[in-house]
Amino acid sequence: LRVVRDRRALAQALAELRAAGNGIGLVPTMGYLHAGHGALLARAAEDGLLPVLSIFVNPLQFGAGEDFARYPRDEAGDLAAAERFGAVLAYLPDGDDLVPERPEVVIRAPALMRRLDARARPGHFEGVAAVVVRLWGIVRPDAAYFGEKDAQQLAVVRRLARDLAVGVRVVGVPTVRDADGLALSSRNAYLSPGERRQALALRAALAVGEGRIAAGERRPAAVAEAMRRHLAQAPGVTPEYAEAVGPDRLDRPRRILGRTLLAVAARVGTARLIDNVRLWVPLDGPATPLVDDPPGEAGRRAQVARRRLEAVLAERAPQAGVAWRRAVCDALRGAAALDGPTVRAVLAQVVGRGPLGTVRIGGRDLDELAAVVWDAMRSASAISKEPSRKLGEIPKGVPRPQD
């Protein structure tokens, strides 16, 4: 593991790695590394990239009265862990090397940054965006890896990468949990042994939500309320929110279908904890875990499949704007199983109320997939012989076709 502390040394080290023909997988962290960070680094290696890590407790993302000063720090432990987890290069910026001055430019994604955690932490995601975009600019990685545990952060950085066309692939990596189900987090260090037991209520609340969906409940408000009630009854736990939303736009759908994020936040002792589960909810049958970014070759195939699907839609529905095509492709991303009726229903939902979010397409032949999706779209009347009339039904906020 090579350790660098300023941008010149970082640029030099990256140039050497690239000269040897390697791609770079960046894992931005705030240190106090645990197995969740290990999974991000391992995933970069699995994708054929050299795992490069940054460790920086970013003051821009902490509000007044938050835990910046006491955020756990352990440089020696982190470097040992980074080496163990297979990182080849670690950037630990000295002093103001990464953020020399308070940025004048503020990056805002208003809809994404005012929901869920942003209500309790105004300005947090602007601070995250400022430092992530800076790191992307300095490191220029091929891909950047973020944990699904920070679901809103993941949604924000995905959108940043897309809107700013930074040329970085954002990869979400599943949450790593302790054997008893507690999601790993550097902030778990704040918990006493008793509070740690109480903190299991977050995962239990999510299980309640999953149970309601398994029992056939499809109203987001009812699922959210069941999770909130569970948190409220748990000893030592002060609930902050419980939600059932789409994982990309983070808004409540009319009905739970396809890509779904159950998310909770609560205070336990002095720690503010968050947790979530990501599900693919088919029209019929049990929900399955949502796998947005399958590792290695499967991930590459899924990516190719999405591009192909977009191309097919562009060819067969040229009237539809690119944002609409993206919404369709996104809404169908990550499903463990893709069945015709569900595809039809999801597409109908996209047309009926705007983008849902994104889906994966396990193992299908790409041509067959494109045909299945297109057939499903036709039979759902999402786009047929009268695309402009149908597209006229797209609600506000989703681009109209170019007539």
Catalytic residues: 37
Piece of the chain touching ligand PAF by CB under 6 A; list 23-31, 89-97, 206-214, 356-364: 23-31
CB of 134 to ligand PAF, least distance (A): 10
Give the sheet arrangement for strand 288-289, strand by strand. 237-245, 258-268, 271-281, 288-289
Q: Which is nearer to ligand PAF, 157 or 383 (CB)?
A: 157
* DSSP annotation of 383: S
- Total number of residues binding ligand PAF (CB under 6 A)? 10
CB of 153 to ligand PAF, least distance (A): 6
Q: Which is nearer to ligand PAF, 117 or 243 (CB)?
A: 117
Q: Which of 41, 89, 132, 173 binds ligand PAF (CB under 6 A)?
A: 132
Q: Which is nearer to ligand PAF, 146 or 241 (CB)?
A: 146
CB of 279 to ligand PAF, least distance (A): 22
Q: Give the C-alpha separation, 255 to 253, whole Å.
A: 5
Q: Give the C-alpha separation, 314 to 308, whole Å.
A: 10
Neighbouring residues of 239: CB distance < 8 A, sequence distance ≥ 6? 228, 231, 232, 264, 265, 266
Residue 134 Cα distances to 98, 140, 166, 180, 382, angstroms: 8, 10, 11, 37, 40
Residue 401 Cα distances to 105, 314, 345, angstroms: 32, 11, 21
Piece of the chain touching ligand PAF by CB under 6 A; list 9-17, 24-32, 234-242, 243-251: 24-32
Q: Which is nearer to ligand PAF, 33 or 231 (CB)?
A: 33
CB of 309 to ligand PAF, least distance (A): 30
Q: Give the C-alpha separation, 34 to 182, whole Å.
A: 13
CB of 127 to ligand PAF, least distance (A): 8
Q: Which helix (H) or strand (E) holds 32?
A: none
Site string for ligand PAF, 186-225 (x = CB under 6 A): ----------------------------------------
Map the footprint of ligand PAF across residues 169-188, applying CB under 6 A. Answer: none
Q: Give the C-alpha separation, 108 to 98, whole Å.
A: 20
Q: Which of 40, 90, 128, 171 binds ligand PAF (CB under 6 A)?
A: 128
Longest dimension (CA), the chain: 64
What is the crossing angle of helices 124-139 and 151-163, to 10°?
50
Q: Which is nearer to ligand PAF, 71 or 324 (CB)?
A: 71
CB of 234 to ligand PAF, least distance (A): 26
58 binds ligand PAF (CB under 6 A): yes
Piece of the chain touching ligand PAF by CB under 6 A; list 2-10, 27-35, 83-91, 318-326: 27-35
CB of 400 to ligand PAF, least distance (A): 35
CB of 62 to ligand PAF, least distance (A): 10
SS3 of 243, please?
strand
Q: Which is nearer to ligand PAF, 132 or 327 (CB)?
A: 132
Q: Give the C-alpha separation, 199 to 201, whole Å.
A: 5
Q: Give the C-alpha separation, 285 to 169, whole Å.
A: 32
Q: Which of 49, 88, 113, 131 binds ligand PAF (CB under 6 A)?
A: 131
Q: Which of 30, 223, 273, 382 binds ligand PAF (CB under 6 A)?
A: 30
Q: Which of 28, 38, 51, 357 binds ligand PAF (CB under 6 A)?
A: 28
Which of these, 326, 325, 361, lies nearest to 343 by C-alpha position? 361
Q: Give the C-alpha separation, 383 to 138, whole Å.
A: 43
Neighbouring residues of 360: CB distance < 8 A, sequence distance ≥ 6? 291, 292, 293, 294, 302, 333, 334, 335, 336
Q: Give the C-alpha separation, 330 to 328, whole Å.
A: 5
Q: Which residues bind ligand PAF (CB under 6 A)?
A: 28-30, 58, 61, 128, 131-132, 150, 153
